[in-house]
Structure formats: C-alpha cells, structure tokens
C-alpha cells in the first residue's frame, strides 16, 4: 500500500475542508503547484489532485493540474467535477495515471461503462460514503443507489480502481472508521484507495492490513501530525 498526499484546490488555492463543507477551511495555501511539488520532494510516490471548484460547479483548475501532471515526476490521479467524455480524454492523453469520476458515474452507469471501455485501467470510480450512503455533487447530496448496487454495476468493468472517501470522518483528525473501511474494501470488486480520517501511521497500517491499495491523506499531512517521509518504510512505498 502507498500513502498519497491530497492536493485539494478551491478558488485556485490549496485547501483542506472538514466533511466537504465549503466554509470549514482548516488550511489555505496560495500555490497548488508548489504544494504538490513539496510532497514529491519529500518522497511521495503518487499524488491525488481534487478540483473542488469543478466539483462545486465554480469553474475548474485543469490548467494548473496539467502543469503538475507534466512536471511533478510521479503518477497522478485526478478527480472533482469530471463529467464529460472530452475532459476524460484530455486528461488521459495529457498523462494522468487515473481519472476519477463520481457523480456522473453513479447517476449514469451506461456512461461509466462507455468511458471505462474507452480507457481500460485508467478510470477510477469515486464512491464517497456518508453515514453509509453514497454522496454526490461535491458531497452536497445523496444518491438512491446503494453501495452494494454500485458494486454490482462496476464488477465487470475494466476500471483502474475505486476511491472511497468516508465523508463522515473526513478532515476531523480523529482517525479512520476501520469497520466501514473493512466492509467497503472486502465488498468492492476492484482495488480500493481509501480516504477520510487518516491521521496516523497506525491508521495506514490498518488500511494496509484490510487490503487497501492506497491511503489518501490531507489535513494530517499539512499539519504534519503525520510525517510519512520519516517512517521506517517511507510512504509505505514498496
């Protein structure tokens, strides 16, 4: 399992929110490119980019994300408001390792099937969960589709994985919900990257033991409560 820094961008700045609430910023940094490169310089093997402006329908940060993809030197996964075939094609052609699609994938499974067939192994489904239900539209709404139903929809698709963010513990610095993570990972028919509440090396070890392929970390990294570059196995990179 690898540890993955999150670079969440809102109003063209790096932010960390609590539970996805726009008014809950805990961190604000002015330069997304510098923030991304700082993690690479510390040895991060992978980056997780989130376009919160795109997710909230406030424009996008695609140009700066393309610069990060081109210059950072490590693989990048990118998500947030990606709801068009053209944008997916553009990001894949530009070099994104994985493109994360959430709301549109859940609401339009035929579109998900089409886009994953066009880009086998490059599409990740973002299945954000809040109190056991799927959250959509930048975590502002919920879906009638259950987690189990979505697993059934995606089981035969050529996906590159599933990103599960547990919104219920996101940004609270209180640790993961191991029961929720274990149930999700064991039930999912694809490799899972877990996000939400990761606050310690112990949390990462738990997710690794549960079978997660990666753990995305945000606020705990920016506040240096967790310092994976100092671990005996830095960033859990193999």
Q: Which residues are catalytic?
A: 8, 128
Q: What angle do CA 80, 162, 201 make, to 5 degrees?
A: 95
Torsion of CA 198, 201, 205, 210, to 10 degrees: -10
The helix (run of H) or strand (run of E) holding residue 161 is strand 161-165
Q: Is 218 exposed, middle or buried (0-12, 13-18, 19+ CB in 10 A)?
A: buried
- Compute the distance between CA of residue 176 and CA of residue 182 in angstroms, rounded to an integer: 11
The helix (run of H) or strand (run of E) holding residue 162 is strand 161-165
- Compute the distance between CA of residue 173 and CA of residue 134 in angstroms, rounded to an integer: 22
Q: Helix 62-71 vs helix 85-94: angle between axes, to the nearest 10 degrees?
A: 30
- Compute the distance between CA of residue 170 and CA of residue 174 in angstroms, rounded to an integer: 9
């Amino acid at each position: 399992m690898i540890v993955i820094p999150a670079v969440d961008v809102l109003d063209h700045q790096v932010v960390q929110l609590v539970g996805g609430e726009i008014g809950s910023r805990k961190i604000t940094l002015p330069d997304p490119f510098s923030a991304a490169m700082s993690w690479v310089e510390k040895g991060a093997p992978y980056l997780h980019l989130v376009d919160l402006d795109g997710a909230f329908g406030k424009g996008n940060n695609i140009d700066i994300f393309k610069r990060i993809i081109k210059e950072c030197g490590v693989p990048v996964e990118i998500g947030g408001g990606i709801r068009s075939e053209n944008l997916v094609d553009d990001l894949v052609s530009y070099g994104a390792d994985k493109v994360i699609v959430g709301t549109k994938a859940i609401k339009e499974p035929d579109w998900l099937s089409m886009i994953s067939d066009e880009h086998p192994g490059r599409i990740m489904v973002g299945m954000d969960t809040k109190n056991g239900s799927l959250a959509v539209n930048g975590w502002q709404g919920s879906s009638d589709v259950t987690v189990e139903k979505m697993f059934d929809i995606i089981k035969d698709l050529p996906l590159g994985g599933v990103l599960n963010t547990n919104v219920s513990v996101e940004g609270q610095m209180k640790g993961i919900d191991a029961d929720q993570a274990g149930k999700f990972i064991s039930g999912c028919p694809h490799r899972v990257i877990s996000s939400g509440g990761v606050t310690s090396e112990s949390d990462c070890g738990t997710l690794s033991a549960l079978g997660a392929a990666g753990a995305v970390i945000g606020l705990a990294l920016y506040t240096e409560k967790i310092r994976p570059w100092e671990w005996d196995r830095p960033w859990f990179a193999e």
